[in-house]
């Protein structure tokens, strides 16, 4: 993929990809803030397009995406919604941002949504479903509220405000939806703080129940739907007798409102997952493994709805270090993933696309 920021250490890398109007479109960010004292105003949104996933063109100078930090991308087939954040006009906090979404019908012209915008967006059966997540700068208390939209530009509140940090949202073709979040949990025996995982459920994306506590000392990081159930990546923690904290990752499957079941993914030491995708009926759980303290991509695949999983072997496609898959979509012959990799020769983060056949 073309590099939009060869002179920026943080690089310009994709954060999401979709199939749109017979082609592939990815959005991402030039992360200039890493070298500008954390100032998000120097970041900029980028759009890449490709007809086949092999050759890509790039537009890194879209006026509406100036100062944007993009974290995700969804489409209903008619319009695109890029999710991210925008610098907040708070003189006392130059690093402050507010959630923002941008809408486009062609991937070239973009418009930022009006008013409070969601931090998470999913495509429901009746339009777009979103969750607005805000944090009180004076108290650090995080609150979340569900919203809906028919066009991505104007959002309507459809729930109460919850004192919880929502961290993932997904919708199924039948109209059901699930959101995952976190709330403060009971302290450990050594008095250190914990986080409990909570879940909200909806039959239509408008009326919600929850939050329901699912697991103690657990932090969800991603959720998706395979059309039959919802699958979540969860980081679990525990206090060891030595006083250190043990962390492990699980993929949990939620079916018909029942208690979640853990998928059998035999992770080894120094291995963790942070994303999960469904593309072409294939489940992909992505994360990283550490080799001599350096992270690199790790991918697990299930072709039987999560009953069994196999790890994709390390290979030249993930050469060098810090390869990271952040978005995935089906192609006519297999799968396309986008993300980033670190080029040790130039000491620079580069955009990357991977193709896999069936």
- Whether 241 has a pLDDT exceeding 80, the answer reads no
Percent of the chain scoring above 90 in pLDDT:
66
Instruction: Please state, in angstroms and as integers, the Cα–Cα distance from residue 311 to each residue in 191, 219, 252, 308, 341, following that order.
Output: 38, 23, 17, 10, 20
pLDDT tens profile 68-96? 999 999 999 999 999 999 987 665 666 77
pLDDT at 90: 63
pLDDT tens profile 140-149? 779 999 999 9
Of 3.30.2010.30, 2.60.40.420, 2.120.10.10, 1.10.260.30, which CATH number belongs to 128-262? 2.120.10.10
pLDDT at 344: 84
Report the distance separating Cα 275 and Cα 287, nearest Å. 7
The tokens for 133 are: 């997540």
For the sheet with 282-291, list strands across it. Answer: 271-279, 282-291, 294-302, 310-311
How is the chain split into domains, by residue range? 1-112, 128-262, 263-358
Give bridge partners of residue 261 from the DSSP assignment.
253
Cis peptide before 272 (omega within 30 of 0): no
- Whether 214 has a pLDDT exceeding 90, the answer reads yes
- Whether 35 has a pLDDT exceeding 90, the answer reads no
pLDDT at 41: 86
Top-level class of domain 1-112 = mainly beta
- Whether 40 has a pLDDT exceeding 90, the answer reads no
Strongest mean pLDDT among 7-11, 83-87, 95-99, 293-297: 83-87
- Tell me whether the CATH fold assigned to 1-112 matches the one assigned to 128-262: no
pLDDT at 357: 85
Report the distance separating Cα 236 and Cα 248, nearest Å. 5
């Amino acid at each position: 993929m073309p590099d939009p920021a060869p002179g920026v250490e943080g690089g310009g890398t994709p954060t999401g990809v979709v199939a749109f109007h017979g082609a592939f479109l990815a959005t991402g960010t030039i992360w200039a803030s890493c070298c500008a004292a954390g100032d998000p105003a120097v970041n900029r949104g980028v759009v890449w397009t490709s007809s086949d996933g092999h050759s890509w063109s790039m537009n890194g100078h879209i006026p509406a995406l100036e100062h944007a930090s993009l974290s995700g991308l969804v489409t209903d087939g008619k319009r695109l919604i890029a999710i991210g954040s925008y610098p907040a006009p708070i003189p006392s906090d130059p690093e402050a941002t507010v959630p923002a979404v941008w809408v486009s019908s062609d991937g070239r012209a973009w418009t930022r949504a009006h008013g409070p915008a969601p931090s998470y967006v999913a495509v429901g059966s009746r339009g777009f479903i979103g969750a607005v997540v805000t944090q009180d700068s004076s108290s650090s208390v995080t609150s979340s509220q569900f919203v809906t939209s028919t066009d991505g530009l104007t959002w309507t509140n459809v729930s109460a405000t919850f004192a919880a940090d929502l961290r993932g949202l997904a919708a199924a073709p039948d109209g059901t939806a699930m959101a995952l979040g976190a709330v403060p949990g009971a302290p450990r025996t050594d008095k250190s703080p914990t986080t409990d995982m909570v879940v909200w459920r909806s039959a239509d994306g408008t009326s919600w129940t929850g939050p329901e506590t699912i697991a103690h000392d657990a932090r969800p990081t991603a959720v998706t739907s395979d059309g039959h159930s919802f699958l979540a990546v969860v980081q679990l923690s525990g206090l060891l007798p030595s006083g250190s904290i043990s962390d492990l990752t699980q993929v949990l499957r939620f079916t018909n409102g029942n208690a979640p079941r853990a998928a059998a993914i035999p992770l080894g030491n120094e291995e963790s997952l942070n994303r999960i995708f469904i593309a072409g009926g294939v489940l992909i759980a992505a994360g990283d493994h550490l080799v001599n303290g350096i992270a690199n991509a790790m991918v697990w695949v299930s072709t039987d709805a999560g009953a069994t999983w196999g790890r994709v072997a390390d290979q030249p496609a993930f050469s060098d270090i810090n390869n990271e898959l952040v978005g995935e979509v089906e192609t006519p012959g297999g799968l396309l993933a986008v993300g980033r990799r670190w080029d040790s020769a130039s000491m620079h983060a580069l955009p990357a696309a991977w193709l896999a056949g069936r």
